[in-house]
Amino acid sequence: MTLAEIVEKSRRIVFFGGAGVSTESGIPDFRSADGLYRQNYDVPPETILSASYFYAHTEEFYRFYRDRMLPLQAKPNAAHHKLAQWERAGKLLAVVTQNIDGLHQAAGSKRVYELHGSIHVNRCLSCGKSYPASWIAQTTGIPRCTCGGIVKPAVVLYEEPLDASVIDGALRAISSADTLIVAGTSLTVYPAASFVNYFRGDHLVLINRDPTPLDGKCTLVLHEKVGEALGKLPSWLSEDTP
Protein backbone atom coordinates (compact mmCIF):
# COMPACT_ATOMS: atom_id res chain seq x y z
CA MET A 1 0.00 0.00 0.00
CA THR A 2 1.09 3.57 -0.61
CA LEU A 3 1.02 6.28 2.03
CA ALA A 4 -1.84 7.98 0.19
CA GLU A 5 -3.87 4.77 0.23
CA ILE A 6 -3.28 4.23 3.94
CA VAL A 7 -4.20 7.81 4.83
CA GLU A 8 -7.33 7.67 2.67
CA LYS A 9 -8.60 4.57 4.49
CA SER A 10 -7.69 5.80 7.97
CA ARG A 11 -10.04 7.65 10.32
CA ARG A 12 -8.01 7.77 13.53
CA ILE A 13 -4.43 8.68 12.65
CA VAL A 14 -1.89 9.48 15.35
CA PHE A 15 1.41 11.04 14.36
CA PHE A 16 4.45 10.30 16.53
CA GLY A 17 7.34 12.59 15.62
CA GLY A 18 10.91 13.36 16.55
CA ALA A 19 13.59 15.89 15.68
CA GLY A 20 13.58 14.94 12.00
CA VAL A 21 10.15 16.52 11.62
CA SER A 22 11.63 19.97 12.20
CA THR A 23 14.90 19.72 10.27
CA GLU A 24 13.15 21.03 7.15
CA SER A 25 12.31 24.12 9.20
CA GLY A 26 16.03 24.69 9.73
CA ILE A 27 16.26 23.19 13.22
CA PRO A 28 19.16 20.70 13.57
CA ASP A 29 18.39 17.26 14.92
CA PHE A 30 20.43 15.60 17.63
CA ARG A 31 21.91 12.29 16.53
CA SER A 32 22.49 12.45 12.76
CA ALA A 33 25.93 13.08 11.25
CA ASP A 34 25.35 16.84 11.46
CA GLY A 35 23.27 16.73 14.63
CA LEU A 36 23.71 18.73 17.78
CA TYR A 37 25.23 15.84 19.72
CA ARG A 38 27.95 15.40 17.07
CA GLN A 39 29.22 18.96 17.48
CA ASN A 40 32.41 19.67 19.41
CA TYR A 41 31.76 21.41 22.73
CA ASP A 42 33.92 21.65 25.85
CA VAL A 43 31.02 20.12 27.77
CA PRO A 44 28.87 17.54 25.91
CA PRO A 45 25.36 18.82 25.08
CA GLU A 46 23.85 15.80 26.85
CA THR A 47 25.53 17.01 30.05
CA ILE A 48 24.53 20.64 29.58
CA LEU A 49 20.91 19.62 29.01
CA SER A 50 20.66 17.80 32.33
CA ALA A 51 18.87 18.93 35.46
CA SER A 52 22.00 18.64 37.58
CA TYR A 53 23.96 20.88 35.19
CA PHE A 54 21.13 23.41 35.08
CA TYR A 55 21.13 23.85 38.85
CA ALA A 56 24.92 23.72 39.26
CA HIS A 57 25.91 25.83 36.24
CA THR A 58 22.80 27.87 35.43
CA GLU A 59 24.54 30.67 33.57
CA GLU A 60 26.52 28.24 31.40
CA PHE A 61 23.33 26.27 30.72
CA TYR A 62 21.60 29.40 29.48
CA ARG A 63 24.53 30.43 27.31
CA PHE A 64 24.15 27.13 25.41
CA TYR A 65 20.35 27.16 25.57
CA ARG A 66 19.98 30.61 24.01
CA ASP A 67 22.50 29.77 21.31
CA ARG A 68 21.23 26.32 20.30
CA MET A 69 17.77 25.63 21.73
CA LEU A 70 15.73 28.74 20.89
CA PRO A 71 15.01 28.63 17.13
CA LEU A 72 12.36 31.34 17.35
CA GLN A 73 12.80 32.25 13.68
CA ALA A 74 11.79 28.76 12.50
CA LYS A 75 8.49 28.33 10.65
CA PRO A 76 6.28 25.23 10.24
CA ASN A 77 7.08 23.11 7.20
CA ALA A 78 4.92 20.97 4.93
CA ALA A 79 4.67 18.18 7.50
CA HIS A 80 3.37 20.47 10.25
CA HIS A 81 0.81 22.05 7.91
CA LYS A 82 -0.41 18.72 6.52
CA LEU A 83 -1.01 17.32 10.00
CA ALA A 84 -2.96 20.41 11.02
CA GLN A 85 -5.12 19.98 7.91
CA TRP A 86 -5.81 16.34 8.80
CA GLU A 87 -6.85 17.34 12.30
CA ARG A 88 -9.28 19.96 10.98
CA ALA A 89 -10.70 17.32 8.65
CA GLY A 90 -11.33 14.95 11.58
CA LYS A 91 -8.83 12.41 10.27
CA LEU A 92 -6.02 12.96 12.81
CA LEU A 93 -6.59 12.20 16.49
CA ALA A 94 -3.41 13.71 17.88
CA VAL A 95 0.23 14.59 17.43
CA VAL A 96 2.68 13.07 19.89
CA THR A 97 6.01 14.86 19.62
CA GLN A 98 9.44 14.68 21.17
CA ASN A 99 10.13 18.20 19.90
CA ILE A 100 10.04 21.32 22.05
CA ASP A 101 9.82 23.94 19.29
CA GLY A 102 6.03 24.45 19.20
CA LEU A 103 5.86 24.29 15.40
CA HIS A 104 2.88 21.93 15.38
CA GLN A 105 0.82 24.49 17.29
CA ALA A 106 2.15 27.27 15.07
CA ALA A 107 0.78 25.37 12.06
CA GLY A 108 -2.63 25.08 13.70
CA SER A 109 -2.62 21.70 15.44
CA LYS A 110 -4.69 21.69 18.63
CA ARG A 111 -4.20 18.27 20.23
CA VAL A 112 -0.44 18.03 20.67
CA TYR A 113 1.24 15.96 23.36
CA GLU A 114 4.71 17.43 23.94
CA LEU A 115 6.61 14.64 25.66
CA HIS A 116 9.67 16.76 26.33
CA GLY A 117 7.94 20.03 27.11
CA SER A 118 8.16 23.34 25.27
CA ILE A 119 10.55 26.26 24.91
CA HIS A 120 7.49 28.52 24.87
CA VAL A 121 6.68 27.88 28.54
CA ASN A 122 9.08 29.30 31.14
CA ARG A 123 8.29 29.65 34.82
CA CYS A 124 9.87 31.21 37.86
CA LEU A 125 11.07 28.55 40.26
CA SER A 126 10.08 30.76 43.21
CA CYS A 127 6.66 32.23 42.39
CA GLY A 128 5.58 30.38 39.24
CA LYS A 129 5.20 33.46 37.04
CA SER A 130 5.32 32.61 33.31
CA TYR A 131 7.50 34.17 30.64
CA PRO A 132 7.55 33.68 26.84
CA ALA A 133 10.51 32.28 24.93
CA SER A 134 11.10 35.68 23.33
CA TRP A 135 11.76 37.11 26.80
CA ILE A 136 14.28 34.37 27.55
CA ALA A 137 16.06 35.09 24.26
CA GLN A 138 16.45 38.76 25.14
CA THR A 139 17.89 38.19 28.62
CA THR A 140 21.54 37.81 29.51
CA GLY A 141 23.15 35.74 32.20
CA ILE A 142 20.61 33.96 34.40
CA PRO A 143 16.99 34.98 33.60
CA ARG A 144 15.35 36.22 36.76
CA CYS A 145 11.72 36.90 37.57
CA THR A 146 10.49 40.21 38.93
CA CYS A 147 10.48 38.48 42.32
CA GLY A 148 14.16 37.63 41.94
CA GLY A 149 13.69 33.91 41.35
CA ILE A 150 15.38 31.95 38.57
CA VAL A 151 13.23 31.32 35.50
CA LYS A 152 13.45 27.77 34.12
CA PRO A 153 12.21 26.56 30.72
CA ALA A 154 9.47 23.93 30.85
CA VAL A 155 11.51 21.45 28.86
CA VAL A 156 12.22 18.00 30.21
CA LEU A 157 15.93 17.86 30.93
CA TYR A 158 17.92 14.68 31.35
CA GLU A 159 17.35 13.26 34.86
CA GLU A 160 13.79 14.68 34.91
CA PRO A 161 10.63 12.57 34.49
CA LEU A 162 8.10 13.09 31.74
CA ASP A 163 4.81 14.71 32.71
CA ALA A 164 2.36 11.99 33.78
CA SER A 165 -0.70 13.66 32.23
CA VAL A 166 1.09 14.08 28.91
CA ILE A 167 2.15 10.42 28.94
CA ASP A 168 -1.42 9.34 29.70
CA GLY A 169 -2.89 11.41 26.87
CA ALA A 170 -0.28 10.25 24.38
CA LEU A 171 -0.71 6.56 25.22
CA ARG A 172 -4.50 6.82 25.08
CA ALA A 173 -4.27 8.38 21.62
CA ILE A 174 -1.80 5.81 20.31
CA SER A 175 -3.85 2.94 21.75
CA SER A 176 -7.00 4.12 19.96
CA ALA A 177 -5.41 4.89 16.57
CA ASP A 178 -6.13 2.87 13.46
CA THR A 179 -2.94 4.21 11.84
CA LEU A 180 0.25 5.30 13.58
CA ILE A 181 2.75 7.34 11.59
CA VAL A 182 6.18 7.38 13.24
CA ALA A 183 8.39 10.01 11.66
CA GLY A 184 11.71 11.78 12.05
CA THR A 185 12.92 9.76 15.01
CA SER A 186 15.69 7.23 15.53
CA LEU A 187 13.58 5.52 18.22
CA THR A 188 16.55 5.42 20.58
CA VAL A 189 15.31 7.84 23.27
CA TYR A 190 13.40 6.15 26.07
CA PRO A 191 10.81 6.06 27.42
CA ALA A 192 9.36 7.86 24.39
CA ALA A 193 10.51 5.18 21.93
CA SER A 194 8.57 2.54 23.84
CA PHE A 195 5.27 4.33 23.22
CA VAL A 196 4.87 2.68 19.82
CA ASN A 197 4.40 -0.64 21.63
CA TYR A 198 0.93 0.54 22.67
CA PHE A 199 -0.30 0.69 19.07
CA ARG A 200 -2.88 -1.96 18.20
CA GLY A 201 -4.27 -0.56 14.97
CA ASP A 202 -4.11 -1.59 11.33
CA HIS A 203 -1.23 0.33 9.76
CA LEU A 204 2.15 1.27 11.19
CA VAL A 205 4.05 3.71 8.96
CA LEU A 206 7.69 4.72 9.42
CA ILE A 207 9.11 7.85 7.76
CA ASN A 208 12.78 8.48 8.53
CA ARG A 209 15.91 9.13 6.51
CA ASP A 210 17.84 6.38 8.29
CA PRO A 211 16.80 2.83 9.24
CA THR A 212 15.31 2.29 12.70
CA PRO A 213 14.66 -0.75 14.92
CA LEU A 214 10.99 -0.54 13.89
CA ASP A 215 11.45 -0.91 10.13
CA GLY A 216 10.76 -4.64 9.99
CA LYS A 217 7.42 -4.32 11.81
CA CYS A 218 5.84 -1.67 9.60
CA THR A 219 3.15 -1.71 6.94
CA LEU A 220 5.15 0.90 5.05
CA VAL A 221 8.68 2.33 5.44
CA LEU A 222 9.78 5.51 3.68
CA HIS A 223 13.42 6.54 3.99
CA GLU A 224 12.93 10.18 3.05
CA LYS A 225 12.33 13.59 4.57
CA VAL A 226 9.09 13.88 6.51
CA GLY A 227 7.94 17.15 4.95
CA GLU A 228 8.52 15.82 1.45
CA ALA A 229 6.66 12.59 2.19
CA LEU A 230 3.59 14.30 3.65
CA GLY A 231 3.68 17.44 1.55
CA LYS A 232 3.30 15.59 -1.75
CA LEU A 233 0.12 13.79 -0.68
CA PRO A 234 -3.00 14.81 -2.65
CA SER A 235 -4.91 17.75 -1.21
CA TRP A 236 -8.11 15.72 -1.14
CA LEU A 237 -6.67 13.73 1.75
CA SER A 238 -7.13 16.86 3.87
CA GLU A 239 -10.79 17.36 3.04
CA ASP A 240 -13.56 16.53 5.48
CA THR A 241 -14.15 12.82 5.78
CA PRO A 242 -17.66 11.36 5.73
Instruction: Provide the annotated active-site residues.
Output: 116
CA 204, CA 201: separation in Å to the nearest integer?
A: 8
CA 71, CA 28: separation in Å to the nearest integer?
A: 10
CA angle 110, 113, 116 (to 5 degrees): 135
Count H helices, E strands: the chain? 9, 9
CA 193, CA 184: separation in Å to the nearest integer?
A: 12
Torsion region of 80: left, alpha or beta (phi above 0 gives left; psi -120 to 50 gives alpha):
alpha
